[in-house]
Amino acid sequence: MLQELVDYALYGIFGLSPEAKWAMSLNFFLYDSVKIILLLLVMISVLGFFRTYLPQEKVKAWMNKRRYGSGHLAASIFGALTPFCSCSSIPIFLGFMESGIPLGIGLSFLITSPLVNEYLVVLMLGFFGWKITLAYVASGIILGTAAGLLLGRLGLEKELVRDLISSRKTKGKQYKEWKERVRFGLGEALEVLKKLWLWILAGVAVGALIHNFVPEDSIRMIIEAGGVFAVPLAVVVGVPIYANCAAVLPIALVLFQKGVPLGTALAFMMATSALSLPEAVILRRAMKLKLILIFFGTVAAGIVLTGYLFNLLQGLLA
């Protein structure tokens, strides 16, 4: 419905041409900005509401008792069930941080959510078949779990921008009416939104420009020319592009049909989905630069290894 409203406003009321690239970029910017801001308000409000029932200290204590990566695996599976792109996953990640959930577990969700979702599964089943789809889903969950575990052990919590995380605590406070709980949750969301909205608009603006001005043929020619380094090159090319899996999957399919190895095509899709320049811009308000670089570097390395593994399996099964 939101997309229909944006289309009607731009193409119906203002009479812009839907074929013009600048109009498509404006459409993309308006739709994604409103979507992410609404998600931020709703998700942090909901999580804040439930925090009044589960004080921060209890949440931390429960999560810290999880052993052998079970918390990270649960966060990755939850991420796989949420149909969000990389930027849309950030509000839930921030809500996790507000709730006192360990950073590594939050990052497991942040990695897996854009990589794997129900839309992607349906599309991949049609394009690639169930075996490749199942292997991709498993690799996405494993990557999110492993990367979250690794990053969680590095003690990087100090690299979060603390003023973004609300200082309002629920410890010791009794909420007698549900209206008080709703007000607390909405207050949390508004507090974060006031600090984040400019970064959201900046990140989506970058994505909107890239989204409609980067030709698919150029992407294919660059990746095809990579030779043995095609997998890391596909990741490097994919990171600046901002698109959800539904939009980038057809490009990955074309690459595969043109003879690009399966792992290389999937690595491009994974990098585009899980890592993007707009995501980095928005995360800069929540994380210090050091943490963003470590996060992107770790996930990119995992995607490269996954791509080479798929290429190896393709060669063995050929």
Q: Does residue 275 come out as left (phi exceeding 0), alpha (psi in the -120 to 50 range) or beta?
A: beta
- The residue with tokens 């812009």 is 16
Which residue did the predictor score with more confidence, 83 or 229? 229
Identify any residues that bridge with 287 across adjacent strands, giving them in sequence order: 160
d(CA 77, CA 241): 25
- Is the separation of the CB atoms in 285 and 206 below 8 Å? no
Cβ neighbours for 28, distance < 8 A, ≥ 6 positions apart: 204, 207, 208, 211, 212
Q: What is the tens place of the pLDDT at every residue in 1-16?
A: 888 999 999 999 989 9
At residue 150, the pLDDT reads: 92
Phi, psi of 287 (to 5 degrees): -125, 150
Whether the per-residue pLDDT at 309 is higher than 80: the answer is: yes
Nearest-angstrom CA–CA distance, 218 and 222: 6
The mean per-residue pLDDT over the stretch 282-298 comes to: 90
CB-neighbour burial class of residue 305 (10 A; exposed 0-12, middle 13-18, buried 19+): middle
Average pLDDT on 126-150 reads: 89
Q: Which residue has the higher pLDDT, 173 or 178?
A: 178
Amino acid at residue number 74: A
Confidence category of residue 305, pLDDT binned at 50, 70, 90: very high
In terms of pLDDT, which residue wins out, 216 or 198? Answer: 198
Range among 106-120, 139-153, 162-176, 203-217 with highest mean pLDDT value: 139-153
CA angle 88, 309, 255 (to 5 degrees): 65
Residue 176 exposed, middle or buried by CB count within 10 Å (0-12, 13-18, 19+): exposed
Q: Over the chain, what is the mean pLDDT?
A: 82
Burial 85-118 (b: 16+ CB within 10 A, else e): bbbbbbbbbbbbbbbbbbbbbbbbbbbbbbbbbe
pTM confidence score: 0.74
H-helix or E-strand containing 169? Answer: none
Question: Is the confidence at residue 302, as pLDDT, over 60?
Answer: yes
Q: By the 8 A CB rule, do 311 and 263 touch?
A: yes
pLDDT class for 285, splitting at 50, 70, 90?
A: confident
Q: What distances in angstroms separate CA 40 from CA 92, 141, 191, one per listed residue?
A: 7, 24, 11
pLDDT value at residue 130: 87
236-253 pLDDT per residue, tens: 988 877 665 666 777 787
Encode pLDDT of 91-120 as tens digits.
788 878 877 788 999 999 999 988 887 777
- Per-residue pLDDT of 50-90, as tens digits, reads 777 766 566 556 666 666 678 899 889 988 887 677 777 88
Distance CA 98, CA 185 (A): 11
